[in-house]
Amino acid sequence: MKPIAADKINSQQGKPFPDPFRHKLEKCHWRRLSAPFNLSALAANMETIEPGGQSSLRHWHSHSDEFIYIISGELILVTDEGRFTMTQGMCMGFAAGDNNAHHMLNDSEQSAVYLAVGSCHPNDQVEYPDDDICWRQQDGQWQAFNKQGKPYK
């Protein structure tokens, strides 16, 4: 293995959410930094959020920790406690099982870049209190369900 430049890792636009949620995440581009190294217990993504975009739907993880670090730009962190401005060099962590749902918005006129790092727990579930969706792992694969337990296609 050799070190690689992050900008050489393929960028993906949007997030792999089913309709009707996908359009909310179209202004997010991300690179799965941990993928080329076949890491299984840690996920690291570098994400760029365009003006007017958001990182995800507001969510929390049952079994995986999350950590974010702002590389450039300005983002608004939205949690159950309110809205907080995050700028270059600021960071925040979210402990597994803490149901304080969060996401980030780009209300500025410039793109913002941040690093997102999280643990990969095989029993992790992701809850979205504001939206009719949750993610569960089945047979090692993530599957989106509505809150009544019906899978999205």
Q: What is the pLDDT of residue 140?
A: 74
**Residue 30, both tokens:** 């991300």
The neighbour count for residue 85, using CB atoms within 10 Å, is: 11
Q: What is the pLDDT of residue 76?
A: 98
Domains, the chain, ordered by start: 12-125 (2.60.120.10)
Cα(110)–Cα(57) distance, rounded to whole angstroms?
21
Cα(85)–Cα(77) distance, rounded to whole angstroms?
6
Q: What is the pLDDT of residue 14?
A: 87
For the stretch 83-121, pLDDT in tens is 999 999 999 999 999 999 999 999 999 999 999 999 999
Q: What is the pLDDT of residue 25?
A: 95
**Residue 93, both tokens:** 């962590």
Instruction: Give residue 19's identity as a one-letter amino acid code.
Output: D
Q: What is the pLDDT of residue 1?
A: 80
SS (H, E, C) the chain: CCCCCHHHCCCEECCCCCCCCHHHHCCEEEEECCHHHCCCCEEEEEEEECCCCECCCCEEECCCCEEEEEEECEEEEEECCEEEEEECCCEEEECCCCCCCEEEECCCCCCEEEEEEEECCCCCCEECCCCCCEEEEECCEEEEECCCCCECC
Cα(81)–Cα(49) distance, rounded to whole angstroms?
22
Residues (pLDDT < 70) of the chain are: none
- The model's pTM is 0.93
Q: What is the pLDDT of residue 84?
A: 98
Q: What is the pLDDT of residue 4?
A: 95
